[in-house]
Amino acid sequence: MPVTYELRDYQHQWIKDIWNSWEKGNRRVLGQLPTAAGKTVCFAHISHKFFEQGKQVLVIAHRIELISQAAEKLEQIIGEPVGIIKAGVLANPERRIQVASVQTLSRR
């Protein structure tokens, strides 16, 4: 999966900070960027590293309205279908990246 979106300097730093935290043994890392700062593009770049290791990725959106938006953008960037975990949507557990809302996950 070639990720073709070029990252900005602050996005590179944000991703680096997340990886550094994971390398220190932290397993619950929260990354935060302002609206329109390119979080979805960053998720795609992080996902690519997990895909290289044969792993799957779960992206959690804060609001239900953001699930479709994130899934569509991720599909554009990574070039493959994204699963959506949401009531009323057919599950596709075989897809390497899934998007879900906090609300849906907390109910399951």
Domain 9-107, classified CATH 3.40.50.300, yes or no: yes
The pLDDT of residue 64 is 78
Could you give the CA distance from residue 51 to residue 43 in angstroms, rounded to a whole number?
12
Would you list the domain boundaries of the chain? 9-107
Residue with tokens 């890392």: 29
108 residues of the chain, pLDDT tens digit each: 556 678 999 999 999 999 999 999 999 999 899 999 999 999 999 999 999 999 999 999 888 788 999 999 999 999 999 999 988 889 899 999 999 988 888 887
What residue type is assigned to position 90 of the chain?
L
Query: Considering the entire predicted model, what is its pTM?
Result: 0.83
What residue type is assigned to position 34 of the chain?
P
In the three-class reduction of DSSP (H, G, I as helix; E, B as strand; rest coil), residue 58 is classed as strand
Beta-carbon contacts of residue 92 (< 8 Å; ≥ 6 apart): 81, 83, 84
The pLDDT of residue 63 is 80
The pLDDT of residue 7 is 93
